[in-house]
Amino acid sequence: MSAVETSPGRTFEIVVITGLSGSGKTLAVRAFEDMGYFCVDNLPVSIIPVFADLCAGRADLRRAALVVDVREGTFLTEFPAIFDSLKRMRGRRARLLFFEAGDEALIRPRSRPTARSRRGSAGSASCWSRCASARI
């Protein structure tokens, strides 16, 4: 993480939204956007420090929210250290929201197909639910 910090007396807030597929992450980030947060959906874990630095360095941005998919290959190995770094930066407040849902909600057909469902997935929603919950 770079040394970019916010100006004295100013706190930059970043909210990381993650969780199981179909649990409501996209709806949550839309709500944050409605509350005036700068939002990004589906940001790769390795880009989070750059995103945080860019946002914190802008005087016109005080808060941001981003969605990270737990199915990303590096999530479980890289994310904990990256999030800890975000929390330790002076002038920043980092929060983590993890969304989950029961198997019946995860397996239920969605009102519109996602890019992943159009391409075909590497496992069922129930399998992802159990695997992600066990690892986290």
**Residue 6 counted as domain residue:** no
Tell how many helices (H) and how many strands (E) occur in the chain: 6, 4
Residue 95's domain spans which residues? Answer: 12-135
Q: Is residue 55 in a domain?
A: yes
Structural domain includes residue 2: no
Helix (H, G, I), strand (E, B) or coil at 46: helix
> Residue 84: inside a domain, yes or no?
yes
Both tokens of 76, joined, read: 């479980």
Residues of the chain scoring pLDDT < 70 = 1-9, 105-136
User: Is 101 inside any structural domain?
Assistant: yes
pLDDT on residue 98: 93
Instruction: Judge contact between 94 and 51, C-beta under 8 A.
Output: no
Interval 57-92: pLDDT, tens: 999 999 999 999 888 877 778 899 999 999 998 889
- The answer to the question of residue 50 being in a domain is yes
pLDDT score, position 83: 94
- Using alpha carbons, select from 87, 92, 19 the residue that is nearest to residue 54: 92
pLDDT at site 105: 66
CATH number of the domain residue 50 falls in: 3.40.50
Flag whether the pTM goes above 0.75.
no
The number of domains in the chain is 1
